[in-house]
């Protein structure tokens, strides 16, 4: 098996020197997605809920570009700058990944790139 790097053509561009995703065998390792609008390459305005929706749209877009879906997600890691938004994000999350939810970790961190309130990384299987 060979490691293959992937750079999105449809989703938001990386804000640093990293690949959008890396595949190894049948596994996709998707870099953390923050709420950047792919059309403008700028952080979306709004509250954590609005930013969460954009993050999940970005994940769906990039996974689709790679021939996978949200239901192919095996594990997610959610980073929040305010853990009091946990319930709010869960309400949005469940509609994107359910009903067979991936394993998940959710943590609060002090800051995210560009001032984002949420970042999500995904490990998925190739469809």
29-43 pLDDT, tens digit each: 999 999 999 999 999
Q: Where does the pLDDT of residue 12 fall: very low under 50, low under 70, confident under 90, or very high at 90 and above?
A: very high
Give the whole-angstrom CA distance, residue 124 versus residue 127: 9
Q: Where does the pLDDT of residue 47 fall: very low under 50, low under 70, confident under 90, or very high at 90 and above?
A: very high
Give the whole-angstrom CA distance, residue 91 versus residue 55: 14
Q: Which residues have CB under 8 Å from 17's CB, separation 6+?
A: none
Half-sphere exposure of 44 (CA within 13 A, CB side): 24
Instruction: Check whether 10 has a pLDDT greater than 90.
Output: yes
The CATH code that applies to domain 3-125 is 3.30.1330.40
106 is catalytic: yes
C-alpha distances in angstroms, 113 versus 43, 83, 107, 108, 119?
10, 17, 16, 14, 9
98 close to 69: Cβ distance less than 8 angstroms: no
Which one of 22, 53, 61, 106 is the catalytic residue?
A: 106
Give the whole-angstrom CA distance, residue 14 versus residue 121: 13
Q: Where does the pLDDT of residue 61 fall: very low under 50, low under 70, confident under 90, or very high at 90 and above?
A: very high
By C-alpha distance, which of 79, 61, 58, 69 is closest to 124? 69
């Amino acid at each position: 098996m060979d490691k293959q790097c992937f750079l999105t053509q449809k989703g938001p561009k990386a804000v640093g020197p990293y690949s959008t995703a890396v595949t190894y065998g049948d596994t996709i390792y998707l870099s953390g997605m923050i709420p950047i609008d792919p059309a403008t390459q700028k952080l979306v305005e709004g509250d954590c809920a609005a930013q969460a929706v954009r993050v999940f749209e970005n994940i769906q877009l990039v996974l689709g570009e790679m021939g996978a879906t949200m239901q192919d997600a095996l594990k997610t890691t959610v980073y929040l700058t305010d853990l009091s938004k946990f319930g709010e994000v869960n309400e949005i999350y469940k509609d994107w990944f359910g009903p067979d939810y991936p394993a998940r970790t959710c943590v609060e961190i002090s800051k995210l790139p560009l001032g984002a309130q949420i970042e999500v990384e995904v490990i998925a299987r190739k469809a």
